[in-house]
Structure 1
Amino acid sequence: MPRQSVDASSTADGLDTLNIAALIYRIDEDVPLLVDANETARRLLSIGDSFPTADPWHWLDARRCPATGARHPAMLEDDSHASPQWQYFHLRQSRKPLRAVKLKISPLDVPADGDHRRHVLIAVGEITEADSDATPSLLPQAEPQLHQMLGNLPMGVCVIDVEGYLRLVNRAFCRFFGYTESELLNAHFRKLLPEQHRPAADQYHAASFPDALNQRRAVEVLLRDGSTRTVIIEDTINHDDLGRPQHIAFLVDITERRNLERRLEQKNRRLEYLATRDDLTGLHNRRFGLELLEQTLERSQRYGEKVSVAMLDLDYFKEINDQYGHPVGDTILTDFSRLVVELLRASDTFIRWGGEEFLMILPGIDRFAAQTTLNRLIEQLHDHPLSPYDLRISFSAGVGEHHHQTSKGLLEEIDQALYQAKSAGRGCVAIAPICVSRPGQCCNQAFSSL
């Protein structure tokens, strides 16, 4: 706006008639000095008669830097042609409570004494003392009726402006986070969030103006004591007395409910695991293995893909249990399962069928390639003693290839092949032939052993 060529003292004294406190600052090398104040300002702010002087208080910009201080308001006047706007600051005097003040800042020219340094007139519109136990808010821009309506609600409520600063907090909100009202007002909402969530929250807040309505989301928040809670936030957009949009947010603590949900999810995952997995080895169990076999054979039938299936049985496993005990036998089963899974392809499936029997589903290969895979496993097993007793074990296996049989028919074929492998001396692999006649009329068995 254009500078005013008036007598500064007269201007300040004139504001006394309106009961408006007025301060006049001179800017000396970018340092503001208080050079005059009218009677209203001297009474409200306890200013003496000695001028010029440095400020007897400390200014805190309520919007830009609520925690650490900001530029002096006298340094914020501009030369635009727009009318000066009311701005909001906190003012802290020694041994006095924090105050909230509404200011209008205007540039002045003071030519009377030939001093052409820059002068600034600050008119103080309102002064509100901050009392953390009192009902009124620190901020005059928080509408009294809104504060009264929200103040006694049992749920936490806050008002957040476009820049993300808290403009109103009710008692329940303060109790929940563990802060006093004066510690939260004019703080940025980031203060109440774990650090890792702050960037995303900033983006959400910026995108939520001006048209977002009735937003509902779960948010993790940070309490004063360092603990975290989970809250449901429901917020909407309101406008203050100057028409600026602001969030009104309602918080409901759902931490216990969320923890209960997590425990239920964990139990459900555990139940699902137990329903599909063998508790000892971690492999798929027989019931779920049958489902996987049906799905694999159906896919083979639909797309014409090869798939081989093998049944494995650990040799002389009963003797191991009898001689070393069942705990050692369990260790053998666990170590064997882990070794086989490491050697198979990701597309292969290894299933604990029961006891010391295992089923292997090998998609994409015929029965001869499957036989080669099993022979390689027998060789690897020979070079890897199992259990603390370094026992060398072997297995017998029967292998079959899917060729329009049902799953039951295929399992019968590989079971017969397994029987042939055991009869041949164990530690070998028998291949079930592909029957081209009636089911059950199978011909010669093919064997291999090491």
Structure 2
Amino acid sequence: MVASKNSPSHQTAEGPSTPDGLDTLNIAALIYRLDAGVPLLADANETAKRQLHLGDGFPMADPWQWLDAHRYPAAGLDHPALLNVSSENSRQWQCFHIRQHAQPLQALKLKISPLETRADEGATRHVLIAIGEITAIDDTPGLLPQAQPHLRQVLGNLPMGVCIIDLEGYLRLVNHAFCEFFGYAESELLNAHFRKLLPSQHHQAAEKQHAASFLEALEQRRAVEVRLHDGSSRTVIIEDTISHDEAGRPQRIAFLVDITERCDIERRLQEKNRRLEYLATRDDLTGLHNRRFGLELLEQTLERSQRYGEKVAIAMLDLDHFKEINDRYGHAVGDEVLTEFSHFMIGALRSSDTLVRWGGEEFLVILPGVDRFSAQTTIDRVLKQLRQRTLSTFRLRVSFSAGVGEYRDQMSKRLLEEVDHALYQAKSAGRGCVSIAPVSSTCQERCHARMFPSFQG
């Protein structure tokens, strides 16, 4: 319950501080009731009802959005009725801004005074806000002050979308190209917050970036996803700068260029490039590295071995009697066997090993970090596991012959010849086995020279 209008404690040097008494001074007055810290508009005098377009339905939820919370960062409050006012600063006029629905932004000069309450009202408090002056910042909704008609004219005639956004994030100017791009009428965008033009998931980050850029006052160029009136999304390049209006208030002038089509073309080109790269390095049937790229990987592995002294072994595998599978079941079944065999080998080998489709039913395995004996053990193990598997819809059982060799400073071509010869020996021995390539005397001499250079003449 508000204290009596005639209470001496509510008189000021300028006249009575009650809402009705301030009518005589043409001062709008509002009384807010604070229930658990939430401001509720409890009453208003006739001047306030007229100037702020209020009805007679009290109490009511606050009909305005207060926009000057950034002036009181220490308090962290967004409503003047929540400020901890003292008798000293209640005599000072303070400036706030309010926005009421689609009405223009208004600047208010006001005084805030706490009101006494009766003891039986408990924790409920009342605050009197006296408004001495109300100024509409933009008499024509959303347009810049008439002192800047040249700027409006220049920006309005540009073929690209242009908008001006104030410090709080509200659109103050939008040109025809901007409205046409987003699919809104000018009246639907003026005074709207820029959030309206963004997907909801980007609101928080965009508002944070908007506020920070005003402090840094830096020119920015960035790609942004925006939302059109019909709900579709586009990608635009925004290039903007921070300027000031004639009253010194900061504003953002943003230029938009639609790059959606360009982004789509670039994305398709990237997909094609990835596909071409895949086709250039992979076997189309099995997805394994093809022979050309496998040779490059082998050279890289051998160079690394020579540089760091690491062992490297390789194995050449050939599926046994594969021609009979093609002749009896057809090439489609043969392709199934090759594909399933490739998947089996990838699962059976280490992640550091590399499997290459060398050609037809031949496969190359690069095994870094092991010698030819360890490699032989590995390939033997894989061969035994393969014999327990069936491949293709015909549940065929297959085996392979393999030759294994070790890098000893010989050229890659020479190493491949040694392994191929060992593979031929495995086939001659009846297939389904692993043969190890012997180390030539030349390789032994090169290895000895690398390990003991001081003994060389």
TM-score range, shorter chain: 0.7 to 0.9
Q: Deviations over 1:94-118 (max 9, x none)?
A: xxx74444433345899xxxxx984
Higher helix share: 2
Alignment of 1:319-398 (within 5 A): 319-398=324-403
- The alignment partner of 1:320 has SS state of helix
Q: Deviations over 1:289-322 (max 9, x none)?
A: 1111111111111111100011111111111001
Alignment of 1:410-425 (within 5 A): 410-425=415-430
Task: Name the counterpart of 1:273.
Answer: 278
Offset at residue 119 of structure 1 (A): 5.7
- The 1-side partners of 2:127 and 2:365 are apart by 92
- The 2-side partners of 1:285 and 1:384 are apart by 25
Alignment partner for residue 209 of structure 2, among 190, 195, 204?
Answer: 204
Does the alignment pair 1:5 with 2:35?
Answer: no
Could you tell me whether the CA contact under 8 Å between 2:423 and 2:435 is conserved in 1?
yes
Paired letter, 2:13: S
Give TM-score scaled by structure 1 length.
0.78
How many percent identity over aligned positions?
A: 58
Gaps of 5+ in 1: 16-21, 111-115, 131-135, 440-450
RMSD: 3.8
- The 2-side partners of 1:347 and 1:142 are apart by 72
Alignment partner for residue 408 of structure 2, among 403, 406, 410?
Answer: 403
Offset at residue 124 of structure 1 (A): 2.4
Could you tell me whether the CA contact under 8 Å between 2:171 and 2:192 is conserved in 1?
yes
Worse overlay, 404-413 or 234-243? 234-243
- The 2-side partners of 1:155 and 1:107 are apart by 46
Task: Name the counterpart of 1:447.
Answer: none
Q: Deviations over 1:128-178 (max 9, x none)?
A: 666xxxxx6257699555434323322222233444443433333233223
Could you tell me whether the CA contact under 8 Å between 2:94 and 2:111 is conserved in 1?
no
Does the alignment pair 1:261 with 2:266?
Answer: yes
Decide whether aligned partners of structure 1 residues 144 and 417 sit closer, same or farther in structure 2, where only a CA change above 3 A counts.
same
Q: Deviations over 1:361-408 (max 9, x none)?
A: 000001111111111111111111000000000111111100011000
Decide whether aligned partners of structure 1 residues 384 and 33 sit closer, same or farther in structure 2, where only a CA change above 3 A counts.
same
- The 1-side partners of 2:127 and 2:413 are apart by 101
Alignment of 1:121-132 (within 5 A): 121-126=131-136
Offset at residue 257 of structure 1 (A): 0.1
- The 1-side partners of 2:216 and 2:296 are apart by 51
Task: Name the counterpart of 1:60.
Answer: 64
Q: Deviations over 1:170-198 (max 9, x none)?
A: 33323322334444444443333333334
- The 2-side partners of 1:201 and 1:409 are apart by 62
Offset at residue 73 of structure 1 (A): 8.1
Give TM-score scaled by structure 2 length.
0.77
Task: Name the counterpart of 1:247.
Answer: 252
Task: Name the counterpart of 1:448.
Answer: none
Decide whether aligned partners of structure 1 residues 141 and 352 sit closer, same or farther in structure 2, where only a CA change above 3 A counts.
farther
- The 2-side partners of 1:106 and 1:7 are apart by 13
Could you tell me whether the CA contact under 8 Å between 1:311 and 1:358 is conserved in 2?
yes
Does the alignment pair 1:35 with 2:45?
Answer: yes
Offset at residue 276 of structure 1 (A): 0.5
Paired letter, 1:35: N
Offset at residue 251 of structure 1 (A): 1.1
- The alignment partner of 1:335 has SS state of helix
